Amino acid sequence: MLQIAPHLVSVPGKDILAGVDALVKDGIADPNHLTIGGYSYGGYMTNWLITQTTRFKAAVTGAGAVEHAANWGNDDETYDDAWYLGGVPWEKPEMYQSEAALFQFDKVKTPTHLVGGNADVRVSFLEDVLMERAFQQIKVPHTFLAFPGEGHSLEKNPWHGYIKVREELKWLDKYVNE
């Protein structure tokens, strides 16, 4: 994990894309059926990766930051963003911006299903709202599933986890099997 500091998403993201390229080249992955998804830090990664490529037919993301300065101020563990990004927002504004998907959202074309708990304070629910608003602005197909009263882990109501996965699978099926 220390190798990603202060490049929270760009360094591992480039590794992921290189891995996808290798899987396609080796015939293991079908380039016509690629999808991507993640939750929490996996959501951070998914949010950034859809700004870097159009090769994914669909994405599912949840509870992942799309903009690090606001997340630093709104989550319950501000030290982690500051540690990974090399300082607080006013000390490293260029890093907070360069590692944030929001500032590259004009490149997003991937239909994306977004999930979050509206009581999440680990990665603020406001990050999900911000991302949904960005999708509306750029007119990329998306859905936003918000679970009332749920925090980061979506464990308050066991049905929410089931509904989350069911809706993600429906979204992926819709775009991969068109």
Give 142-178 pLDDT, tens digit per residue. 999 999 999 999 999 999 999 999 999 999 999 998 6
pLDDT confidence of residue 178? 66
In the chain, where the domains are located: 2-176
pLDDT confidence of residue 3? 72
Contacts of 146 (CB under 8 A, 6+ apart): 115, 116, 117, 118, 125, 128
Using the predicted structure, report yes or no on whether residue 4 has a pLDDT greater than 80: no
- Helices 41-49 and 10-25 meet at what angle, rounded to 10? 70
What are the structure tokens assigned to 80, written together? Answer: 């982690």
Using the predicted structure, report yes or no on whether residue 50 has a pLDDT greater than 90: yes
pLDDT confidence of residue 2? 64
Is the entire prediction scored with pTM above 0.85? yes
Using the predicted structure, report yes or no on whether residue 91 has a pLDDT greater than 70: yes
What is the C-alpha to C-alpha distance for residues 118 and 52, in angstroms, rounded to an integer?
Answer: 28
**Average pLDDT value over all residues in the chain:** 94
- Which CATH number, 3.40.980.10, 3.30.420.40, 3.40.50.300, 3.40.50.1820, labels domain 2-176? 3.40.50.1820
Closest CA to 5 of 104, 113, 79, 112: 79
Taking the alpha carbons of 95, 131, 110, 173 in that order, is the dihedral positive or negative? Answer: positive
Confidence of residue 82 (pLDDT cuts 50, 70, 90): confident
- Percent above pLDDT 90 for the chain: 84
Taking the alpha carbons of 84, 85, 88, 91 in that order, is the dihedral positive or negative? Answer: positive
Contact call for residues 92 and 6 (beta carbons, < 8 A)? yes
Taking the alpha carbons of 165, 167, 172, 174 in that order, is the dihedral positive or negative? Answer: positive
Using the predicted structure, report yes or no on whether residue 1 has a pLDDT greater than 60: no
pLDDT confidence of residue 75? 83
Taking the alpha carbons of 150, 60, 29, 33 in that order, is the dihedral positive or negative? Answer: positive
Confidence of residue 120 (pLDDT cuts 50, 70, 90): very high
